[in-house]
């Protein structure tokens, strides 16, 4: 208990329910860690320690009374600052929303509260989940817990940094072109983009109506499955929400991978783009681990990365410009330079371009999902290299497109980022496990088997070294 900040969320909830751990003491320990180290990481935009402690005290009182407890009772969490929590600011890390205060919880926030979670604060993001890491905004960008001179990825940058640093065991992010899986990859975490429509996006500042997802970042597979089980479910007020029953996402943990048929998309990182040699070596080693555990590995081919990326780009930027049209016209000067530079090309797309891209998306999704007629899952790379230096603008512009995440925003399939070890410089590496529509439990099953065999998720950064200002 001397290092409560590394407790898994599920384990903390069990200890709290058994009266072996105090929600107040856990919250105090995490707040103390945030106070000590977040000055070097900038993960949080908003903290309200007194409110968090009051909520923790209420959770503790409920335990003592013998009340029915939710699966996250007394467990702290945090939200990317595009997700509403009643009475808290939702700034999207932008001057344009600097004074915006949420009047109600987003459904995902309400579900975390109902499960007993303790909201610790709102987390840094790339501006409007697209522009960053930016140094021309009212708040500094979040930094990587494994080395503060490096980017933590984006756009859910603070979510990745906060979980990796031991500030919270669970943080929510969003994923439109990879924005949960990118910070997961750069911070050595699990990050899930569930099936499109699995999780409500209502009460979340939109980037792209038809590509946005909300998903959890955690340090372990079990915690990720637990968090997704809590936040998933149909929302009739979200037009993209799926009427799909929510099962226990962790129901297959511990079943192993023996007999499973797993496809590998190698051409993403050996032909379409050439990955860093250490990244390639790590994913090939991961594939061998899965094969050694009894999985049947088959190499498969899909469309090239560039075709998925082009489809994603037209849809994302067209919808983003529709959302931002008024502000782009009337408050151009209030945008950070990076976001404005990424948004403006979308103004050149025509209605024909957008319609053709949406039709193409449907075709690509149907083609890709045919693979699951004979496969249980597909594995491929995440980033093509580890984190880049955060203040190196040219490196950031070069590295952000070098990834294999956007195909699964286009197809809508669940994709979970899983740590595969570290580069020679000590920075995390990552792969993705992709499964059929609404089969997140299979992705977690494979991730858990790999996690148990390799132990990568048990390694944590030394903030006395990495977060020193």
How far is it, in rounded angstroms, from Cα 443 to Cα 436? Answer: 9
Give the pLDDT confidence score for residue 387 in this predicted structure. 97
Catalytic member of 22, 52, 80, 156: 80
Residues listed for the chain: 469
Mean pLDDT of the chain: 97
Give the pLDDT confidence score for residue 448 in this predicted structure. 98
Known catalytic membership, residue 430: no
Counting as low any pLDDT under 70, the low residues of the chain are 1-2, 469
HSE of 77 in the Cβ direction (CA atoms, 13 Å)? 38
How far is it, in rounded angstroms, from Cα 198 to Cα 412? Answer: 10
Give the pLDDT confidence score for residue 297 in this predicted structure. 98
Give the pLDDT confidence score for residue 296 in this predicted structure. 98
Give the pLDDT confidence score for residue 467 in this predicted structure. 81
How far is it, in rounded angstroms, from Cα 232 to Cα 246? Answer: 7
Domains and CATH numbers, the chain: 4-466 (3.90.1300.10)
**What are the pLDDT digits (tens) for 348-406?**
999 999 999 999 999 999 999 999 999 999 999 999 999 999 999 999 999 999 999 99
Catalytic member of 124, 155, 200, 318: 155
Query: Mind giving me the DSSP string for 99-134?
Result: T-B-SS--HHHHHHHHTT-EEEEEE--SBTTTB-S-
C-beta atoms surrounding 464 within 10 Å: 9
Give the pLDDT confidence score for residue 381 in this predicted structure. 98
**Terminal C-alpha separation, the chain:** 28
Known catalytic membership, residue 179: yes
Query: Mind giving me the DSSP string for 195-260?
Result: -TTSB--TTB--S-TTT--EEEEESSHHHHHHHHHHHBS--TTSTT--------TTTTTTS--TT-
Q: What are the phi and psi torsion angles at 24 (to 5°)?
A: -65, -45
- Contact predicate 443/434, CB 8 Å: yes
Positive or negative CA dihedral for 73, 449, 259, 197? positive
pTM as predicted: 0.98
**What are the pLDDT digits (tens) for 64-116?**
999 999 999 999 999 999 999 999 999 999 999 999 999 999 999 999 999 99
Give the pLDDT confidence score for residue 247 in this predicted structure. 79
Catalytic member of 22, 179, 241, 430: 179
Q: Considering only CA atoms, which of 181, 201, 190, 197 is closest in space to residue 246?
A: 197
Known catalytic membership, residue 459: no
């Amino acid at each position: 208990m001397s290092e409560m900040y590394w407790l898994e969320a599920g384990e903390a909830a069990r200890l709290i329910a058994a009266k072996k751990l105090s929600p107040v003491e856990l919250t105090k320990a995490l707040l103390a860690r945030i106070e000590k180290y977040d000055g070097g990481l900038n993960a949080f935009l908003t903290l309200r320690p007194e409110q968090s402690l009051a909520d923790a005290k209420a959770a503790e009182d409920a335990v003592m009374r013998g009340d029915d407890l939710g699966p996250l009772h007394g467990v702290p969490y945090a939200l990317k600052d595009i997700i509403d929590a009643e009475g808290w600011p939702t700034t999207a890390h932008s001057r344009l929303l600097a004074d915006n205060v949420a009047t109600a919880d987003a459904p995902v926030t309400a579900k975390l509260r109902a499960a007993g979670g303790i909201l610790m604060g709102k987390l840094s993001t790339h501006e409007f989940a697209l522009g960053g890491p930016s140094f021309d905004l009212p708040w500094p960008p979040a930094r990587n817990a494994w080395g503060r001179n490096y980017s933590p990825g984006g756009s859910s940058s603070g979510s990745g940094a906060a979980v990796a640093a031991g500030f919270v065991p669970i943080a929510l992010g969003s994923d439109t072109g990879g924005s949960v899986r990118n910070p997961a990859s750069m911070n050595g975490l699990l990050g899930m983009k569930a099936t499109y429509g699995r999780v409500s996006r209502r009460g979340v500042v939109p980037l792209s109506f038809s590509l946005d997802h909300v998903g959890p970042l955690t340090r372990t597979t079990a915690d990720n499955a637990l968090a997704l089980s809590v936040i998933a479910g149909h929302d009739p007020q979200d037009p993209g929400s799926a009427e799909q029953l929510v099962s226990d996402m962790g129901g297959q943990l511990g079943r192993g991978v023996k007999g499973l048929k797993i496809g590998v998309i190698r051409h993403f990182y050996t032909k379409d783009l050439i990955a860093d040699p250490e990244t390639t070596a790590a994913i090939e080693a991961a594939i061998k681990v899965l094969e050694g555990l009894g999985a049947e590995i088959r190499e498969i081919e899909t469309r090239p990365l560039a075709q998925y990326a082009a489809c994603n780009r037209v849809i994302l930027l067209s919808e983003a410009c529709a959302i931002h049209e008024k502000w782009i016209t009337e408050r151009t000067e209030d945008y950070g330079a990076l976001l404005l530079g990424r948004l403006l090309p979308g103004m050149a797309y025509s209605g024909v371009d957008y319609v053709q891209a949406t039709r193409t998306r449907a075709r690509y999704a149907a083609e890709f999902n045919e693979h699951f007629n004979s496969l249980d899952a597909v594995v491929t790379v995440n980033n093509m290299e580890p984190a880049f230096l955060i203040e190196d603008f040219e490196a950031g512009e070069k590295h952000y497109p070098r990834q294999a995440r956007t195909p699964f925003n286009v197809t809508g399939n669940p994709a979970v980022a899983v740590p595969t070890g570290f580069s020679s410089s000590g920075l995390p590496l990552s792969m993705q496990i992709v499964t059929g529509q609404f089969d997140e439990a299979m992705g977690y099953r494979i991730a858990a088997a790999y996690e148990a065999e390799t132990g990568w998720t048990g390694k944590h950064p030394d903030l006395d070294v990495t977060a020193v200002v």
